[in-house]
Amino acid sequence: MDQVVQGLPLWIRPAVPGKTSPPDQARALARGGEVTAHDPVMPRWHCSGCQRPWPCPIRRQELRAEYDQAPLSLALYLASRLVSATQDMASASPTALHRRFLGWLR
């Protein structure tokens, strides 16, 4: 199975619990290989770097810098992460998840 998965592009590889998501891996490569230490770890959506709920304060700061000229793209990215997190954490409050993923953008 690993051989098959290794041959797939990053964005269509299945998510591996405890690892960062394929879209986040692809985003890291798109950043020229720059890797953040503060990626989400599924399915609990805590930060791989500081263990705080993702996006942690450091990752929020990094995202603001990365998307400095593209705030709508940042909102769309975070909305996609919110959808995934809502599926992974079905018992979590939708209001709290919305505040956590998108509420800090204002």
Q: Does 50 bind Zn ion (CB under 5 A)?
A: yes
Q: Could you tell me the smallest distance in angstroms from the CB atom of residue 45 to Zn ion?
A: 12
From 33-41, 62-70, 77-85, 91-99, span contacting Zn ion (CB under 5 A): 33-41
- Answer whether 36's CB lies under 8 Å from 20's CB: no
Of 13 and 88, CB closest to Zn ion = 88
- Answer whether 40's CB lies under 8 Å from 21's CB: yes
Binding-residue total with Zn ion (CB under 5 A): 6
From 12-20, 21-29, 47-55, 83-91, span contacting Zn ion (CB under 5 A): 47-55
Torsion of CA 80, 85, 87, 91, to 10 degrees: -150
The rounded distance, in Å, linking the Cα atoms of 87 and 100 is 15
Q: Could you tell me the smallest distance in angstroms from the CB atom of residue 61 to Zn ion?
A: 10
Q: Is the peptide bond before 57 cis (omega within 30 degrees of 0)?
A: no
Q: Could you tell me the smallest distance in angstroms from the CB atom of residue 69 to Zn ion?
A: 24
The rounded distance, in Å, linking the Cα atoms of 46 and 82 is 13
Q: Does 56 bind Zn ion (CB under 5 A)?
A: yes
Residues in touch with Zn ion (CB under 5 A):
38, 47, 49-50, 56, 58
